[in-house]
Structure 1
C-alpha cells in the first residue's frame, strides 16, 4: 500500500509512541519519580517562564517555583498534624474500649454464621500502650524491623521523595534546551507539522491540568461539607486533605479514608460514624470516577466519559500506579494523534476509492 508523506509521518509517530509505551511497561517501577517530576515540570514551566519574562535569572526563577511547590506540598502534609495530634492520644485510650465493644456486639452476630471470635482486650491494650506511647524513632525502628520488604518500601519512598524535587529542578532549569534539542532531531521538512502537533498536544494537556485542578477543588468541597453535615469535628482538615490528595492515585483517597474512619471510631459511639464515612467516601468515589473526571477532565480534552473510564482502567491494569498517573495525559496525546490519522485517512486514496 502506497502511503503519502503525511501518512508515513503519522505511522512513524505511532510506532515511536508504541515503543515508548513498551519502555514504560518495562521500567515502570524505576520511572515513577521521573514521570512525576516530568508532569510537575510541564505544569510549573509556565510559572518559570512568567518569572523569566520579569527579568529574573532562570536559576532564581526555577528555585522560587520549586520552593513554592515544595512548601505547598508540605502544607498539605501538615494538615495531618492537627488530625494526628488530636486522634492519637484518643486512640490510645479508646482501643481497649473498641475491642471490648467488638467482643460484645460483633462476636454474637458472627457466631450465627459459625465464626467464633474473641478479642484479647488486655493484650490489645498492652500493644496499644506500647505502640502509641513510643516516640517517632521507636515507630520507625518497629516499621523497619517488622519486615525486610517494609524497610525497602520505606527506603524507596524516601528516595523518591528526595529524587523528585531534584529531577524537577533540573528539568525546569533546562526545559527550553530540552525542547529545542528534541525539535532538532526532527527533519527540517517536517518541523512545521511536528510543531503544530506539539502545540495541539500542549493545548489539550493544559486543559487536562486545569480540569484536574477543578476535580480536586470540587472533591475537597464535597468531602468537607459532607463530613461537617455528618457532625465530624475534623471535617475541614480531613475533607480538604482528601480532596487535594486525590491527584495521587489510590494513595490520596486511601489516606483520606483512613483518617476519616479514625475520626469516626474515636468521635462516635456505635456504627453511625463508620457508616457515614462509608457512605460519604463511596459517593465521593462515584462522583470522581463517573461524573467529575469524565466531565471536568474528559470533556475538556475531548474524550468521551466512557473513554476516560476505560483509559484509567486499561493503563492502570497495564502499568499499575504509573499507568494511572499517565492515563489521561497520554490519552490526550493519543487523541491528537488520532485526529491526525483520521484526517490522513479521509484524504487518502484508500478512503476515496
Structure 2
C-alpha cells in the first residue's frame, strides 16, 4: 500500500470512530427526521386546503405539542397517586406477611419449622433492596432531566427541518458523487414514503390497543384505566418488549386490591396482544411495512445493545430505512450487477441513476429522448466539455464537410 492508500484507510477508521462517539446524537437526529416526516405530511394536508406553509407548520407542531402534553397529563398524575398509595400499602402488606409467617410457624410440625424463613432475617435482606429503590429515585430524576433536554433538542431540530426541508435534503444528496445524486434522491423519497406508511400503521395499531386496554381495565374496575390504556398503546410502538412492560403497572395496581384482579389483568393483556399479533399486525402493519419477525427481533437486540433504550425505541424505523438502503444500494446497484471475473455490469446502474456513461458524445445525448437537460449538463461537466462548445464544434465540422466537394465525392 502506498501513502495515499494508508491515508485513505486512516481517514475511514477515524470517521468510523467519530461516528461511534456521536452515535447518541445521530439517533436524536434520526428521531428528528422521523418526527419532521410525520409533521411534514400533516402540514401538506393543511396546505392542500389552502393554508400557507408557515401557518401549516406552526399548526402541525402545535398539535404535536398538545398531544405530548396531554399524554403526560394523563399518565403522570395517576401514577404518582398510585405510587403514593403503594408506599402506604406495601408496609402493611409486609406486616401482614410477617404475622402470617409467625402463625404458620405455630401450626406446622416442629420438623418443618426450622426451614421457614425468619421475619428478622427477611427484613434484613429486604433492607438493601429498599435502599437501592430510594437511591434510584435520584437517578430517576437525573434521567428525567436528561430526557427533557433530549426531547427539546429533537423538537428544535424538527422545527428547523420543517422550516426548509428541501435545503437539508439537497445538502445530504450533495455528499454523494454527481452521477449518483439522482439515485440517492429517489432512495430518500422511498424512505420517506416507507416511514410515512410505518407511522400510519403504528398510529392505527396504537389507537386500537389503547382503546381495548382502556375498555378492559374499566370493566375490571382498575384505577387510572385511561392512563394505563394510553401507556399500553404507546409501549406497543416497541414490538416484543413494549407489551411485556405495559402489563406490569396495571398488574401492580390491581394487586393492591386483590390478587385475582392481577391475574385477570394479565389474562386481559394476553388476549389483547394475541389480537394485535394475529389480526392488527398482519392486516395493518404488514401491508404498510413488510419486515420479517426474526429481522425485527434481531434489530431490537442489536440497537438496544449498542444504543440503549433510545435505540430500542427507534429500532423498527431504523430497520425500515436500513432495509431500503441495503436493498437499493448493495443488492440492486452492486451485487445484482456483479459478473463473474470481477467485472460489473454498469448499464443497469446507469439507468437507475438516471444518467448515461460519461463518455457518451453530445450527438448521442441529443438523439436520446429519455435524457433531460439536467443530465446533459451533468455529463458535460463530468467529461470537461462545455455543451455550447460541443454544439459549435459540431456545426463547424458540418459546414467544413459541406464546403469540401472532394470529401463529398470520396464519400
Same fold (TM over 0.5): yes
Alignment of 1:189-200 (within 5 A): 189-200=179-190
Alignment correspondent of 2:167: 177
Alignment of 1:155-304 (within 5 A): 155-247=145-237, 256-257=246-247, 259-266=249-256, 268-269=257-258, 271-281=259-269, 296-298=284-286, 300-304=288-292
Equivalent residue in structure 2 for 1:308, among 283, 289, 296:
296
Q: Which runs of 5+ in 2 are unaligned?
A: 1-11, 106-112, 344-411
Counterparts of 1:294 and 1:24, CA distance in 2 = 36
Counterparts of 1:106 and 1:254, CA distance in 2 = 32
Alignment correspondent of 2:381: none
Please state how far the C-alpha of 1:62 moved relative to its aligned partner.
Answer: 2.1
Alignment correspondent of 1:74: 69
Alignment correspondent of 1:37: 32
Counterparts of 2:15 and 2:283, CA distance in 1 = 28
Q: Which has the larger radius of gyration?
A: 2
Alignment correspondent of 1:336: 324
Please state how far the C-alpha of 1:257 moved relative to its aligned partner.
Answer: 4.2
- Closer/same/farther in 2, CA of residues 90 and 116 from structure 1, 3 Å limit: same
Alignment correspondent of 2:313: 325
Q: Deviations over 1:133-155 (max 9, x none)?
A: xxxxxxxxx989x64x4553233
* TM-score calculated relative to the size of structure 1: 0.70
Counterparts of 2:16 and 2:217, CA distance in 1 = 41
Alignment correspondent of 2:143: 153
* TM-score calculated relative to the size of structure 2: 0.61
Please state how far the C-alpha of 1:71 moved relative to its aligned partner.
Answer: 0.4
Q: Is the 8 A contact 1:298 1:305 kept in 2?
A: no
Give SS of 2:92's match: helix
- Closer/same/farther in 2, CA of residues 92 and 200 from structure 1, 3 Å limit: closer
Counterparts of 1:63 and 1:235, CA distance in 2 = 32
Q: Which moved more, 1:209-218 or 1:84-93?
A: 84-93
Q: Is the 8 A contact 2:238 2:312 kept in 1?
A: no
Give SS of 2:297's match: helix
Counterparts of 1:19 and 1:55, CA distance in 2 = 49
Give SS of 2:203's match: helix
Alignment correspondent of 2:118: 116
- Closer/same/farther in 2, CA of residues 102 and 173 from structure 1, 3 Å limit: farther
Q: Is the 8 A contact 1:234 1:263 kept in 2?
A: no
Please state how far the C-alpha of 1:213 moved relative to its aligned partner.
Answer: 1.7
Give SS of 2:340's match: helix
Q: Which has the higher contact order (CA 8 A, sep 6+)?
A: 1
Q: Which moved more, 1:279-288 or 1:257-266?
A: 279-288
Q: Is the 8 A contact 1:265 1:274 kept in 2?
A: yes
Counterparts of 1:221 and 1:351, CA distance in 2 = 59
- Closer/same/farther in 2, CA of residues 23 and 322 from structure 1, 3 Å limit: farther
- Closer/same/farther in 2, CA of residues 325 and 294 from structure 1, 3 Å limit: farther
Counterparts of 2:195 and 2:14, CA distance in 1 = 21
Counterparts of 1:69 and 1:38, CA distance in 2 = 15
Q: Is the 8 A contact 1:36 1:164 kept in 2?
A: yes
Counterparts of 1:322 and 1:20, CA distance in 2 = 23
- Closer/same/farther in 2, CA of residues 273 and 338 from structure 1, 3 Å limit: same
Equivalent residue in structure 1 for 2:97, among 98, 102, 107:
102
Counterparts of 2:311 and 2:60, CA distance in 1 = 27
Please state how far the C-alpha of 1:114 moved relative to its aligned partner.
Answer: 5.2
